[in-house]
Structure 1
């Protein structure tokens, strides 16, 4: 090929190779040391020029709208890809991810159970709580509680109140025959060497909280349990009871109601004792040895207690319906809330010489008993046989302190509250109340471990140690009155630990709304080391899963009966057949008694800490509120059928009453067996939906489920409060709940549909009609709510 031909060929290709030939030349030149920097400059200038040229060309020819469409289409394709291939999630998981909660409910249960089953500090806590006298306002148990909670990483809040209380100065009881003292009671128990706590030298003489001061010397009578039936029997048999000191045995009625009845029937004072007969099978008379040698009650045991009228009005008697937040809080007279006559508790041993003088006088009263040498005659004693009762008490304003631990939740409402009071009548109080105090600290330990693992509960949890529980539920009542409106909006449940461990038989008392969740929690609760099965198995074997009603004397009273907050209480209590007698409120209720006769290795304490904690975790970790409405209305319907029959029997010819009563019955039947069953079924389905996985592009389904969840939870939160009345019960306006209230006549028991029942007891036609109308309105409102 000729040189000219070659040169022509190179010239033709030169435009095509333009930049590339230049780049190649510069690359070769760059390898020459003498020309490196100019070559790089030329390369950068050419590249920038090329980019600008390309951008200007695109800018001129590209339509802006089309460019926007292109961006949107790309974004849509990206989201579609993510939606199609991203992991499927449930609403339950999403709620936790949004709030940075790293634990599933299964992991929460596992960590809590491991924490409590691997260690048990209940015995250590119980000994520290019962090492010295710790009455209302005591600083020692307050400091211990706060210290232990801080060790667990909590920052407890201290909430103080200033109630009006009574404190003992002196109590005396003496028997006079012919103006000579023949017996002088010590009003103290005997020290037993095997139980160091029983020998506390600063123990006071036995007294009744809120008893009136007085100095009485008079004849006396025996009034059995001091019930209205007992007094009616005495009057029907012509026994002169007016102006006498009435000797009454504990049992069947609240102590305050016994004194209230004695006042009503003209007593000048009351002596109250515990008859071993009421301990059941485990008595000295039946061959059992007394404590500490055996399980029977020590004969010098004295049951202290409060004589405030707590089934009418708990809390500070001078601030009815509002809290005593300051020492200078305006106060009302306590008249009508505490007795006006003096009363003193005494032992079976020291009441014997007094009662023995009544033999053959008056009439035999009651079914007998086990007081040595006494044949259970009513008296009165002869004119020359008199008893002196001297009671001096000092009334004052003192400071009490509730200790509150708050664990924030993902939701800000629907609080689960767990509480127990820590004050006691003596240096003991191991069974009542400090077994519950020890359990409460163990629950706190389990939840502290959860927090270390990054737990954030779905709903808030509050752990509360009340003060002043023994005198008249002071701490819990003042707290409820102080936070009433907030609690109505936010509190979901209150769980109580009063007298948690006093025997071997598990018992549960609760609002029926909580029945199902407690049974489920019992399935997670092992007995002992797990080889004995679960608490659920034992509960079913012993009582067929019996769920009792709440009674009338515990710190759940202000929550359930005043605010309509569903409550529950868990206990291992005396089985009435072989368990040691519980020395309530005496100096023998000690950790020595606990370890020797009740819970040697504190396994029952551990079991109750697991059950209570698991119940609270199931309530706070499940998205739908785990209430079951049907058992609640089934209970209401059962009791209404009973009172309905009494309406028909008492007022057979009153057409208006009969028609109204039947309308209530029809509506209640419909709600019980239609709306509540359907509502519970829908909530079970909603729970399944909350845990069902959906693809990302199905996010709208989760929004719909979330809205259903909020509506269902809001309805369940309202149900119990829909049975509150502004007027309260007749003569007991503080008791607002129309379904449950402490029994008016006994105080200990619960009364179901109390307003209606009390009107029937009083044969009050207008009262019956009013309560039927109230119930009809409330049931109709609930029916509308559930639909």
Structure 2
């Protein structure tokens, strides 16, 4: 019998809600079948014919992978062991059904389909037992294109008109739908410009600076840049800074296409990578400066909120931009041949293209005209009341809106979160209640700049700052089998503890072990920390931003990563997921388990599963990185403050381990704790919440005051990736000694405040 021929046997008496198999590595057919036969013989003596038939009618199912077959548990775990139920209930079939519902049509933020899905999600929350569910509406400024054009208008021999659209694919029904969204940028500037073209590689500051140093005048030109390395908004910001009149951002086959790729290879639909007509839509909001509606900075976009005129905002572009495919980019790059210079590091993956910088002699016409309007978006908020600490809240969120059909982004996350809602609903119906309140949030308008979540945080800021325990985010839940997480160091140990208990579908190892083995192969380029750490620091680009960076709520963002060639295109679809991303929805199922166990620990552990000592270790590394930015730089006050904080946090964790052990027997039971123990728990938990909040500077970073976390922010000129000690790093890079000293002193004050919170 081969692996793929083996079957698991599930008793017909299993509750219908229990879902498909929970994967365990120690249940194999031979011993399993002997046990089943023995039970059947015993029951035959005592039970009715109907019961006997039910026992014989075993449900057949097998999950195979990498030579290992996993079996479903025969014994239903007790409600006293909710962790095992959370591992056992999630169903790949349910997830697939939810996935198809969300991804069957395009659902851009503010669209009619977006609203329909908000109402459907609300109804599902209620159906699954979260009766306290409502839709909270906000009114941000959003744009849709009304006129777009890209053409080479002279000389005549180079004349070219770009299609600005993606080809329908016979294999993928979604791509042939009439409601496919246009290719455009959220928050792009209006304009109709005709100008020479320049090629500026990835559109980073140093790329533009390189052209200036070569004597190329960028004033009034249209910049052609490729996707990658930094967020698209900062490419436009850099172009505007250097005097360009417009920006075109294209997908190059070397970055997101099949060039130089192996296992897997091939452009969609033959493979998972970008096709020649693939276009990556997306926002050009300057996410490293702020998130949310740029017309209501720092306060919620209610229907009658006062507005900052968009043309006065420093957080969005004021020049036109368009996303384009490499098919449309090729004639533009050909028009640059033998004009300017070429650099081997700037060469992409298009054959017979020299990737010359220009400027071109050809003139290019770029038209991008938008309809900007204040329109409603809909956050779905479901609440499970806590039994012991109802004021404390754990928030789980995923955005619902998409640039198209949203297969991996965000539907994989939407489907897994909804399956977690179903799972916890089953626990609720069987008598379980969390210690603390759990809130599920289906955010809207994330794709424009994490708008829905930011407006909600700004609307509930005081309450969240006081009561929120943690925020758990899932955006691209699954686009492959590479588990990864961005997280506050306070939650690193929790993340590792949980992933040690969940089995990877294909290897039979724990998710943690597979994750660690992969990361141990990736050098960090740093002598002191030679390997890339498992959990990454939080940057920007998803719905954790306002929670973590703006008000200091410890956060985790989870993903199963993989090939991102169809990112934000119409090809990110049901077809793509079921052929390349996760055909069996096994990794969606695994993600649901991980999310569920994290939610359970954060909402139910008597002592919060947070570990300041992990912060102390990370801060030591971050301080060293700041000093290493410039030869001879010494920051003695910072070094001393970090050492003191690390010592205090290590001692704090050691001390509260005794308390954790003391209350362990009371987990999940909501039993009455002794008065003294109860006071100890309350004090420690408050200290743990205060610790992350202590890193918040109420005045914000001097270059971008919306961001207030002293230790983390998105890179000022990166946008997605995290910059540690951001204010101090920017001061050091300014070569302003007085500013550096002032910022070091401010940072030290914040670190000392954090240390005192766990003293």
| TM tier, smaller | 0.7 to 0.9
Give the direction of change, closer, same or farther, for the CA distance of 1:687–1:285 in structure 2 (3 Å limit): closer
- Residue 254 in structure 1 maps to residue 242 in structure 2: no
In the alignment, which residue of structure 2 is the partner of 1:348?
A: 326
User: Which residue of the other structure, out of 150, 161, 173, is the alignment partner of 2:126?
Assistant: 150
Counterpart secondary structure, 1:440: helix
Q: Is the 8 A contact 1:561 1:735 kept in 2?
A: yes
In structure 2, distance between residues paired with 1:293 and 1:367: 28
In structure 2, distance between residues paired with 1:180 and 1:268: 24
In structure 2, distance between residues paired with 1:153 and 1:284: 46
Counterpart secondary structure, 1:112: helix
Summarize the alignment of residues 415-564 of structure 1 with structure 2, pairs less than 5 Å apart.
415-426=393-404, 428-528=405-505, 532-544=508-520, 546-564=534-552
Summarize the alignment of residues 215-294 of structure 1 with structure 2, pairs less than 5 Å apart.
215-279=192-256, 288-294=265-271
C-alpha deviation, 1:285, in angstroms? 11
In the alignment, which residue of structure 2 is the partner of 1:655?
A: none
In structure 2, distance between residues paired with 1:474 and 1:785: 32
Q: Is the 8 A contact 1:134 1:140 kept in 2?
A: no
In the alignment, which residue of structure 2 is the partner of 1:182?
A: 159
User: Which residue of the other structure, out of 552, 555, 571, is the alignment partner of 1:567?
Assistant: 555
Counterpart secondary structure, 1:612: helix
In the alignment, which residue of structure 1 is the partner of 2:580?
A: 597
In the alignment, which residue of structure 1 is the partner of 2:391?
A: 413
Q: Is the 8 A contact 1:120 1:606 kept in 2?
A: no
Q: Which shows bigger deviation, 195-204 or 449-458?
A: 195-204
User: Which residue of the other structure, out of 711, 716, 729, is the alignment partner of 2:701?
Assistant: 729
- Residue 770 in structure 1 maps to residue 758 in structure 2: no
In structure 1, distance between residues paired with 2:307 and 2:212: 39
Counterpart secondary structure, 1:392: strand
Structure with max Cα Rg: 1
Counterpart secondary structure, 1:279: coil
Q: Is the 8 A contact 2:382 2:439 kept in 1?
A: yes
CA deviations 1:665-720 (Å, max 9, x no partner) are 12321221x21111111111101111368xxxxx9x92211111111000000001
Q: Is the 8 A contact 2:277 2:326 kept in 1?
A: yes
In the alignment, which residue of structure 2 is the partner of 1:96?
A: none
In structure 2, distance between residues paired with 1:507 and 1:267: 37
C-alpha deviation, 1:541, in angstroms? 2.5
- Residue 357 in structure 1 maps to residue 330 in structure 2: no
Summarize the alignment of residues 358-373 of structure 1 with structure 2, pairs less than 5 Å apart.
358-365=336-343, 366-373=345-352
In the alignment, which residue of structure 2 is the partner of 1:392?
A: 369
Q: Which shows bigger deviation, 247-256 or 370-379?
A: 370-379
Counterpart secondary structure, 2:151: strand
C-alpha deviation, 1:446, in angstroms? 0.8
In structure 2, distance between residues paired with 1:358 and 1:235: 17
Superposed CA RMSD in Å reads 2.1
C-alpha deviation, 1:181, in angstroms? 7.2
C-alpha deviation, 1:779, in angstroms? 2.1
- Residue 121 in structure 1 maps to residue 87 in structure 2: no
In the alignment, which residue of structure 2 is the partner of 1:381?
A: 360
- Residue 638 in structure 1 maps to residue 621 in structure 2: yes
Counterpart secondary structure, 1:630: helix
In the alignment, which residue of structure 2 is the partner of 1:746?
A: 718
Give the direction of change, closer, same or farther, for the CA distance of 1:131–1:343 in structure 2 (3 Å limit): same
Which segments of 5 or more consecutive residues in structure 1 lack a partner in the other structure? 1-102, 575-579, 651-657, 694-698
In structure 1, distance between residues paired with 2:246 and 2:740: 36
Q: Is the 8 A contact 2:715 2:723 kept in 1?
A: yes
In structure 2, distance between residues paired with 1:461 and 1:687: 22
Which segments of 5 or more consecutive residues in structure 2 lack a partner in the other structure? 1-76, 521-532, 667-671
Counterpart secondary structure, 1:413: strand
Give the direction of change, closer, same or farther, for the CA distance of 1:280–1:194 in structure 2 (3 Å limit): closer
In the alignment, which residue of structure 2 is the partner of 1:316?
A: 293
Q: Is the 8 A contact 2:102 2:117 kept in 1?
A: yes
C-alpha deviation, 1:728, in angstroms? 0.9
Give the direction of change, closer, same or farther, for the CA distance of 1:304–1:684 in structure 2 (3 Å limit): same
Q: Is the 8 A contact 1:109 1:617 kept in 2?
A: yes
- Residue 708 in structure 1 maps to residue 684 in structure 2: no
Give the direction of change, closer, same or farther, for the CA distance of 1:685–1:264 in structure 2 (3 Å limit): same
C-alpha deviation, 1:503, in angstroms? 1.6
Q: Which shows bigger deviation, 638-647 or 590-599?
A: 638-647
Q: Is the 8 A contact 1:510 1:549 kept in 2?
A: yes
C-alpha deviation, 1:594, in angstroms? 0.4
Q: Is the 8 A contact 1:524 1:614 kept in 2?
A: no
CA deviations 1:274-333 (Å, max 9, x no partner) are 11111387658999432111233211100001111111011011110000112x211112
Counterpart secondary structure, 2:431: coil
In structure 1, distance between residues paired with 2:742 and 2:307: 33
In structure 2, distance between residues paired with 1:295 and 1:752: 34
Q: Which shows bigger deviation, 438-447 or 195-204?
A: 195-204
In structure 2, distance between residues paired with 1:380 and 1:497: 43
- Residue 338 in structure 1 maps to residue 316 in structure 2: yes
In structure 1, distance between residues paired with 2:473 and 2:644: 33
Give the direction of change, closer, same or farther, for the CA distance of 1:589–1:283 in structure 2 (3 Å limit): farther
Counterpart secondary structure, 1:389: strand
Counterpart secondary structure, 2:243: coil
In structure 1, distance between residues paired with 2:233 and 2:421: 35
Q: Is the 8 A contact 2:253 2:350 kept in 1?
A: yes
Q: Is the 8 A contact 1:175 1:386 kept in 2?
A: yes
C-alpha deviation, 1:761, in angstroms? 1.0
Q: Is the 8 A contact 2:482 2:560 kept in 1?
A: yes
In structure 1, distance between residues paired with 2:564 and 2:718: 22
C-alpha deviation, 1:172, in angstroms? 1.0
Summarize the alignment of residues 15-30 of structure 1 with structure 2, pairs less than 5 Å apart.
none
In the alignment, which residue of structure 2 is the partner of 1:10?
A: none
In structure 2, distance between residues paired with 1:209 and 1:356: 28
C-alpha deviation, 1:630, in angstroms? 0.8
- Residue 664 in structure 1 maps to residue 638 in structure 2: yes
C-alpha deviation, 1:398, in angstroms? 0.3
In the alignment, which residue of structure 2 is the partner of 1:82?
A: none
In the alignment, which residue of structure 2 is the partner of 1:676?
A: 649
